[in-house]
Chain A
Amino acid sequence: MTKGKNKMSEINETFNSSIDEAPPRVTAIKRFSRVFFARRVVIFGLVVITILVLTAIFAPLLAPYDPYKQNLNNILSKPNSEHWLGTDTLGRDTMSRIIYGTRTSLLVGIVAIFIAATIGMFLGLTAGYMGGATNTVIMRLIDAMMTFPMILLALTIAALLGVGLKSIIIALGISLVPPYARVMCGQALAIKQNDYVMAGRAMGAKSSRVMLRHVAPNCFPPLIVLMTMMIGSAILAEASLSFLGIGIRPPGAAWGAMVSEGYRYLLTTPVLSFAPGLAIMLVVFAFNMVGDGLRDALDPRLRGSI
């Protein structure tokens, strides 16, 4: 009896020690961060985004001048020690306006994508999960939306809603819906085949519950990647709309509108147009790189290859 017990503890010991010697378990977070932080350019993007978010929040502290204050005695000045990027047609400090413009860009980009993703997710989930006629109606509507160039659709909706930050956000939010609806529909179609969905339904859960509690959370990874990658597109689209003259009201600072204003003074003060364009590029680049990193890190096919 005692002998048997000893034997048992011996076995237990060897078993335990072999567990200790096994390689440490790789958690999902570790695996994610190993791939995500593998490329320097992704880290660069992350740093840039952090700096930009801080710039947007602390714009009043960072801006050397009031971005709306006109000084008609000092218009279109070249970059100098007082005004690092010169002044515009109304004598406003370009540097300060670019710093304030960060707010517009980030706000429009992030909120518009959030709206697009929410609507698209809802439509795609319903279409994919319900199938049949619901699917046909929703997805054909999405197809119809995709027959318009995105920028033209956004331009039209923005014209419909009138000038202002809110209307540009809503316009972009609506016109960026199709890709989300499509991705979500595809995901929902695949995921609803799983046993746990059937189990949920067998237990009498309502469709809405199965959709939101079981199907939706499993669709998120590709959706998050798409959201990050498209913040850049949304910011570019906002800049294009501002450039075309449908954007935020004149005193407000938006990079696209600044490029457009500076265009008229290209011969004398090209920096007015050049500087805000560079700012747009930097933000879009940062979001694209982080999106790429997320895609690699969340792609199960790439697991273990990097």
Chain B
Amino acid sequence: MTTYIIRRLIQAFFVMILATVIIFCVMRLLPGDPILLFVSQDEYTRTTSQEDIDALRKKFGLDKSLPMQYFDWIGGVLKGDFGESIFFGTTVMEEIGSALPVTFNIGIITFILANLIGIPAGVICAVRRGKWSDTLLTVLANLGITVPIFWLGILLIYFFGLYLGWLPIQGYTSPFEDFSLSVQKLIMPIICLVLFPLAGTTRQTRSAMLEIIRQDYIRTAWAKGLTEKTIIIRHAVRNGIIPVVTLAGMGIPMILGGQVVIETVFNIPGMGRLAVNALFSQDYAVTQGVVLIMSTIIVLSNLLVDISYGWIDPRVRYD
């Protein structure tokens, strides 16, 4: 087990290095020059000489060779310094520091709800196969993976925000500041975000459970005279949960990807909106920093999923 975890950690480390190289290269390949783009915004207020441009380039280290820029960046990241934003005039750490808690808060709630509702829903579908509850939930799950979430967001804004006027239509408030306002603002974005992973979890749990309840040991459990509750919870769910855990791990990049879109729809100052804005304004350091943080979250969650197999399924031996 320990050897496995160590090997898995080394692998994750190399994957992370590859990921940083990809992020860095892609950002440098983007057409256009962030310094010129930045300077062009000031065109009307002051004239910028070539010396000023060169000075800016030097300030952000963009005058060095690409490999040097890469090592500068990585060296900084390891010391907790992600560089400076060209546009916002702040450090990347400040930007991420304010955006990450927002995204984290929304993401965690979404993740928990998706599994808390999705797994029981999938189990109910499988146990009541063919009954109305199964049909209804399956149809809902199939619709859930079909809806464009940004469109659903707009529908909700129209109906609950503008038409009924029940909920605020945009923005974010920290739950520590004003809890009830925070909840009100989070309801609609979370409904949009949870839908896809929730539907996925329900479908996956259903098909995993359908396979399990055909097994011999389930028949044995029935023959022993155990109650349905015991059979489902102790025997079926325990075995059916493994593919669901994999899917839960895969759900994290899905939620983060959803946040890129939904934070734009609801104007939430999180990592997703920051990534989109920084990308469009070619703010190298910010985009790199945001993507790097997201990658790290995804790598760590995959690592956790792999390690949790051994805990959930005693048949899994790491060797």
Chain A residues within 8 Å of B, Cβ to Cβ:
140-141, 143-152, 155-157, 159-160, 162, 232, 236, 239-240, 243-245, 256, 259-260, 262-263, 266-267, 270, 273-274, 276-277, 280-281, 284-285, 288-289
Contact B261 A143, beta carbon cutoff 8 Å: no
What separation, in Å, do the CA atoms of A8 and B260 have in the docked complex? 79
Whether the pair A148, B295 counts as a contact (CB closer than 8 A) is yes
Q: Is B96 an interface residue (CB 8 A)?
A: no
Per-position binary interface string of chain B over residues 13-30, scored 1 when its CB falls under 8 Å from any chain A CB and 0 otherwise: 011101100110011011
Chain B residues with CB under 8 A of A277? 148, 151-152, 154-155
B61 touches A (CB below 8 Å): no
B15 touches A160 (CB 8 A): no
9 contacts between A and B (CB under 8 A): A144-B18, A148-B22, A152-B291, A152-B294, A156-B291, A239-B151, A256-B150, A274-B155, A277-B154
CB <8 Å contact, B299 and A280: no
B18 touches A141 (CB 8 A): yes
Which chain B residue shows the least CB distance to A229?
A: B145
A281 with B260, Cβ < 8 A, contacts A140-B14, A140-B15, A266-B162 known:
no
Task: Determine if B146 is an interface residue (Cβ-Cβ < 8 Å).
Answer: yes
In B13-51, which residues have CB < 8 Å from any A CB?
14-16, 18-19, 22-23, 26-27, 29-31
The 8 Å CB contact of B148, one of A143, A156, A239, is: A239
Query: Chain A residues with Cβ under 8 A from B279's Cβ?
Result: 155-156, 159
B253: chain A residues within 8 A (beta carbon): 146-150
Q: Which of A149, A245, A263, A270 has the most CB atoms of chain B within a 10 A radius of its CB?
A: A149
**Interchain CB contact under 8 A, A266 and B158:** yes
A94 smallest CB distance to B (angstroms): 15
Known: A148-B291, A148-B294, A266-B157. A244 touches B264 (CB 8 A): yes
CB B240 to nearest CB in A, in angstroms, measures: 16
Q: How far is the CA of A284 from the CA of B196 in the complex (A)?
A: 13
B146 to A: closest C-beta gap in Å: 4
CB-CB contacts of B140-169 with A at 8 A, as 1s and 0s? 001101111111101101100010000000
B276 interface contact, C-beta 8 A: yes
Tell me the bound Cα distance from A138 to B31 in angstroms. 27
**Closest Cβ of chain B: how far from A186's Cβ, in Å?**
14
B305 smallest CB distance to A (angstroms): 13
Check if B257 sits within 8 Å of A150, measured CB to CB: yes
Give chain B's interface residues, CB within 8 Å of chain A. 11, 14-16, 18-19, 22-23, 26-27, 29-31, 142-143, 145-152, 154-155, 157-158, 162, 253-254, 256-258, 260-261, 264-265, 275-276, 279-280, 287, 291, 294-295, 298-299
Alpha-carbon separation in the docked complex, A92 to B253 (Å): 38
Of B29, B148, B280, which contacts A280 at CB under 8 A? Answer: B148
Docked-complex contact A285 and B22, CB < 8 angstroms? no
Q: A147-B295, A236-B148 are in contact. List 20 more A-B contacts (CB 8 A).
A: A144-B22, A147-B15, A147-B19, A147-B298, A148-B294, A149-B260, A156-B26, A156-B279, A156-B287, A156-B291, A160-B29, A232-B145, A245-B280, A256-B150, A266-B162, A273-B154, A273-B158, A281-B151, A288-B142, A289-B142
Cβ–Cβ contact B154 & A263, under 8 A: yes
A280 to B155 Cα, complex, angstroms = 14
In the complex, A144 Cα to B145 Cα: how many Å? Answer: 25
Classify the secondary structure of A's interface with B. helix
B66 nearest CB across to chain A (Å): 16
A143 CA to B253 CA, complexed, in Å: 13
- In the complex, the answer to whether A155 meets B276 with C-beta atoms within 8 Å is yes
Whole-angstrom CA separation of A162 from B31 in the bound complex: 8
Closest chain A CB from B206 CB (angstroms) = 12
Contact, CB under 8 Å: A259 / B150? yes
B174 CB to nearest chain A CB (Å): 24
Asked if B18 and A151 sit within 8 Å, CB to CB, the answer is no
Residues from chain B with a CB closer than 8 A to the CB of A236 are 148
Q: How far is the CB of A34 from chain B (nearest CB, A)?
A: 19
On whether the beta carbons of A240 and B150 are closer than 8 Å, the reply is yes
CA distance A147 to B157 in the complex (A): 32
Query: What is the CA–CA distance of A144 and B11 in the complex, to the nearest angstrom?
Result: 11
Shortest distance in angstroms between B107's beta carbon and chain A's nearest beta carbon?
Answer: 11
Q: Are A285 and B146 in contact (CB under 8 A)?
A: yes
A302 to chain B, nearest CB (A): 10
Q: A236–B261 Cα gap in the complex (Å)?
A: 12
Contact of B299 among A147, A159, A232, A266 (CB under 8 A): A147
- Cα distance A149–B154 in the bound complex, in angstroms: 22
A259→B155 CA distance, assembly (Å): 10
On whether the beta carbons of A281 and B147 are closer than 8 Å, the reply is: yes
State whether A285 and B298 are in contact (beta carbons under 8 Å apart), knowing that A140-B18, A150-B257, A155-B260 are contacts in the complex. no
Instruction: Tell me whether B145 and A149 are in contact (CB under 8 A).
Output: no
Residues of B within 8 A of A143 (CB): 11, 15, 18
Q: Considering the complex, give the chain B residue whose CB is closest to the CB of A154.
A: B257
Q: Could you tell me the distance between the alpha carbons of A239 and B151 in the complex, rounded to whole angstroms?
A: 10
On chain A, the residues within 8 Å of B155 by CB distance are 274, 277
Q: Can you name the residue of chain B whose Cβ is closest to the Cβ of A287? A: B146
Q: Does the CB pair A243–B15 fall under 8 Å?
A: no
Q: A148-B291, A280-B151 are in contact. Are A288 and B19 (CB under 8 A)?
A: no
Residues of B within 8 A of A240 (CB): 148-150, 261
Question: Which among A151, A239, A273, A284 is the interface contact of B257 at CB below 8 angstroms?
Answer: A151
Using CB atoms, name the residue of chain A closest to B256: A149
CB of A160, distance to nearest CB on chain B (Å): 5
Q: Bound state CA distance, A260 and B150, in angstroms?
A: 9
Cβ of A301 to closest chain B Cβ, rounded Å: 8
User: What is the CA–CA distance of A157 and B256 in the complex, to the nearest angstrom?
Assistant: 18
A255: nearest chain-B partner, CB-CB = B148
Inter-chain contact A259/B260, CB cutoff 8 Å: no
